[in-house]
């Protein structure tokens, strides 16, 4: 499985992890009159780095239900049609406590009914040792780096493994409860994330993977500047596409700065997705084929060919197609956007 667990960072770019193994072989300079070809390379990981464990003082007590402040950390994409979410835990008490192990997770629908689940522990993670939750962390917030808090990750499939819709349609969860290894459970945590309206927790066949309690990484003291900060993003896409086909479009990156933009040695990761107000038909991370571009001079632009599958069961409707980088620091979130209508 994974050596480190995914935590939502898709729309909170400062928290996105770097992709290991994303370095692509250098290629020849591309003909500028044609878009640079799309490649199917996907990031080997979009995970937060695993921080060094904090020493646990002798005699530190287990966290109880009355101690924890739990918040929903949001939803993000993995590869292969998987989504993942996180639940963050702060400490309302005046003394430190510890959480450990793989907890039981319960999901509830909008009617308050529990959704039957088959849960299994995530593989390839650090040992499920005790995680110190510091006092004074009750103001925990999603997407905000914070030392001294813990989180649990859950992961699920959005299709049957072959790209087909799950039958029956999985129930959508609106709340989650996490058991505590020291006894009791968290209160019901509402699964509300306005920025992830097109990603819902609806596990295919009720199957989920659950991580052990993990420490949340501390914020970086001085994040490196974004090397692609001066690039604007434009999507050129057909006005319509047929369900069951592949949507082919281009992304144009233009350098609006006064210095050349040099792509880093590890080509950046981008995320592409298509959604309306209530549903999505695609959401995939890939590695940009940046080697043929090399750099972009001031005032110049480079086009990149893109493609994304449109599942055969996609409901006919207009969808917003969006494209953005996801693993670069920088305060400004930039996206390309176009509207594409899916026909049956």
Name the average pLDDT for the chain.
Answer: 80
Please report whether residue 44 resides in a domain.
Answer: no
Whole-angstrom distance, CA of residue 250 vs CA of residue 305:
5
Q: What is the pLDDT of residue 279?
A: 72
Q: What is the pLDDT of residues 47-73, one digit of tens each?
A: 444 555 567 888 899 999 999 999 998
> What are 125-135's pLDDT values in tens digits?
666 678 999 99
Q: Is residue 221 included in any domain, yes or no?
A: no
Q: Is residue 253 part of a domain?
A: yes
183 inside domain: yes
SS3 string of the chain? CCCCCCCCCCCCHHHCCCCCCCCCCCCCCCCCCCCECCCCCCCCCCCCCCCCCCCCCCCCEECCCCCEEEEEEEEEECCCCEEEEEEEEEECCCCCEEECCCCCEEEECCCCCEECCEEEECCCCCCCCCEEECCCCCCCCCCCCCCCCEEEEEEEECCCCCCCCCCCCCCCCCEEEEECCCCCECCCEECCCHHHCCCCCCCHHHEEEECCCEECCCCCCCCCCCCCCCEEEEEECCCEEECCCEEEEEEEEEECCCCCEECCCCCCEEEEEEECCCCEEEEEEEECCCCCCCEECCCCEEEEEEEEECCCCCCCEEEEEEEEECCCCCCCCCCEEEEEEEEC
Clarify whether residues 146 and 201 are in a common domain: yes
- Considering the domain architecture, whether residues 142 and 192 belong to the same structural domain is answered as yes
CATH number at residue 336: 2.60.40.10
177 and 320 share a domain?
Answer: no
Q: How confident is the model at residue 142, as a pLDDT?
A: 81
**pLDDT tens profile 94-140:** 999 999 999 999 999 989 999 999 999 887 666 667 899 999 999 99
Claim to verify: residue 263 and residue 189 sit in the same structural domain: no
- Shared domain for 173 and 315, answered yes or no, is no
Whether pLDDT at 11 is above 50: no
Examine residue 110 and state whether it is found in any structural domain, yes or no.
yes
Same domain, 135 and 276: no
Check whether residue 212 and residue 236 sit in a common domain.
no
Same domain, 208 and 338: no
Nearest-angstrom CA–CA distance, 255 and 228: 9
Check residue 229 and give its pLDDT.
83
- In the chain the first and final C-alpha atoms are separated, in Å, by 36
**Which pTM was predicted?**
0.57
Same domain? For 148 and 269 the reply is: no
pLDDT reported for residue 194:
44
Structural domain contains residue 255: yes
Q: Are residues 156 and 190 in the same domain?
A: yes
In this structure, are 75 and 207 located in the same domain?
Answer: yes
Q: Is 89 exposed, middle or buried (0-12, 13-18, 19+ CB in 10 A)?
A: buried
Query: How much is the pLDDT for 133?
Result: 94
Which of residues 160, 189, 216 is at a domain's end? 216
Query: Does residue 38 lie in a domain region?
Result: no
The answer to whether residue 39 sits within a structural domain is no
Domain of 290? Answer: 231-343
Which among 193, 216, 239 is the end of a domain? 216
Domains: count for the chain: 2
Of 191, 216, 241, which marks where a domain is finished? 216
| Segment of 107-111, 197-201, 330-334 carrying the highest mean pLDDT | 107-111
Quick one: 187 and 326 in the same domain? no
């Amino acid at each position: 499985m994974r050596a480190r667990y995914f935590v939502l960072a898709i729309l909170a770019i400062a928290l996105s992890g770097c992709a290991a193994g994303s370095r692509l072989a250098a290629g020849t300079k591309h003909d500028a009159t044609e878009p640079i070809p799309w490649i199917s390379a996907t990031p080997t990981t979009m995970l937060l780095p695993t921080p060094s464990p904090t020493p646990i003082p002798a005699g530190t007590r287990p966290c109880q239900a009355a101690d924890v402040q739990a918040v929903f950390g949001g939803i993000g994409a993995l590869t292969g049609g998987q989504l993942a979410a996180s639940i963050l835990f702060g400490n309302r008490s005046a003394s430190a406590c510890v959480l450990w192990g793989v907890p039981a997770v319960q999901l509830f629908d909008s009617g308050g009914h529990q959704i039957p689940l088959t849960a299994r522990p995530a593989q390839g993670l650090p040992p499920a040792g005790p995680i110190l939750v510091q006092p004074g962390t009750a103001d925990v917030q999603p997407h905000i780096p914070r030392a001294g808090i813990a989180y649990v990750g859950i992961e699920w499939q959005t299709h049957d493994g072959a790209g087909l819709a799950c039958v029956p349609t999985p129930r959508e969860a609106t709340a989650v409860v996490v058991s505590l290894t020291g006894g009791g459970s968290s209160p019901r945590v509402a699964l509300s994330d306005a920025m992830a309206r097109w990603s819902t927790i609806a596990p295919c066949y009720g199957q989920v993977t659950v991580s052990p309690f993990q420490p949340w990484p501390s914020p970086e003291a001085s994040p490196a500047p974004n090397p692609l900060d001066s690039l604007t993003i434009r999507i050129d896409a057909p006005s319509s596409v047929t369900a069951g086909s592949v949507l082919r479009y281009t992304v144009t990156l233009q350098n609006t700065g006064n210095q050349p933009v040099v792509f880093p040695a590890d080509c950046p990761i981008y995320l592409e997705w298509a959604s309306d107000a209530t549903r999505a038909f695609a959401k995939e991370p890939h590695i940009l084929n940046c080697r043929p571009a090399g750099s972009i001079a001031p005032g110049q632009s480079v086009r990149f060919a893109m493609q994304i599958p449109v599942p055969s069961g996609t409901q006919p409707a207009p969808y917003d197609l969006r494209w953005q980088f996801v693993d670069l620091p920088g305060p400004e979130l930039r996206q390309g956007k176009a509207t594409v209508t899916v026909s049956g």
